[in-house]
Structure 1
């Protein structure tokens, strides 16, 4: 015989300690599963499916990966039966708050000495982006960060980074060196021919101005590709 919870009965009929809201109050936030937390956000399910079951179905569609869920649009979430625009917006807003909290909680690195340092500095800016962005980090002679600057935004396939804008920013801030960075929302970590060509162009221009290009890092989900690490600068 199926248990009470497997018969898709409303959450209000569940034992009080198993209802997400009551469970959070009684046992704390960490006692709840991802599906139960999302169920609190969406509030209610339907006659045939509880809010928890609906949340499980959504998570299961994306291999229970919250990072993937955080990239969905309102339209994509609304495709699930039982999720309207308002519920989709609630889910997206909560996941975005979580991303921003991570950005605030991550201690700011004062100096950059490796591709790993670059990743930790810029990963919060690239997380969950569905379009390409090109950023630079400006450093002084001690490799201390002077500034982080967004150079351009583009679409899914690419963005245009103008070397004149990059070096104008470097000169205005008296930077000794520059780190280049952009993301690949397409999921392909490998640099494109355009990426390689642009990197070489900026490196050569930097030599003329006595401004070093220390690295060009490509971000893709939780991974990165460093031109410096593979000896391509």
Structure 2
């Protein structure tokens, strides 16, 4: 039995003349399966830290954490806050294998990134999905970050290297851990394949949600030590600071 979706065979008929919104089930008025009203109601990020994308009251600011200790990655590019109904869509994609939800979010993310490139965001040399440990990927049946990267790669015309980055430790799930525990949890959790060639490259990591940034920091530090010139992070959503 094949538990991995075949990227050459779409899990949703995107060529239908009439699309239905995956959120409200009404006929969509766009080429994607989402209507204009539901797309507008998504929790768009708004003001945020210009480095880690933490939601802030206005644009052009840098959060206190990034001022105190600049991260190893240069910039996080993300369209949404992790809030309803986006959190439900990501959960259904990630934990219930609802790939049409992920495909829709990947398409919208590609539009966001293309607009960011047009506005001056530096284009990376390649995409790297954040890997899952082998055991967790077998349990889930797929790696949501790799699927997102597979959908982004042809849309953005960027090469994808799905096997350069590996997760060597099956650490506990990060969702319920605080920032300090997440950092300890990820020590030596990632490694690079012998075939990877990062010297002088601008690399973009692809993941679903950025919470504390511990995973992005751990991977970016590894990539910079291996010679990467710049590391950016592309993801679907950024969580707000606890209590906000």
* TM-score of the two chains, using structure 2 as the length reference: 0.33
Q: Which has the higher contact order (CA 8 A, sep 6+)?
A: 2
* TM-score of the two chains, using structure 1 as the length reference: 0.34
Question: Which is richer in helix?
Answer: 1
Between Structure 1 and Structure 2, whose CA radius of gyration is higher? Answer: 1
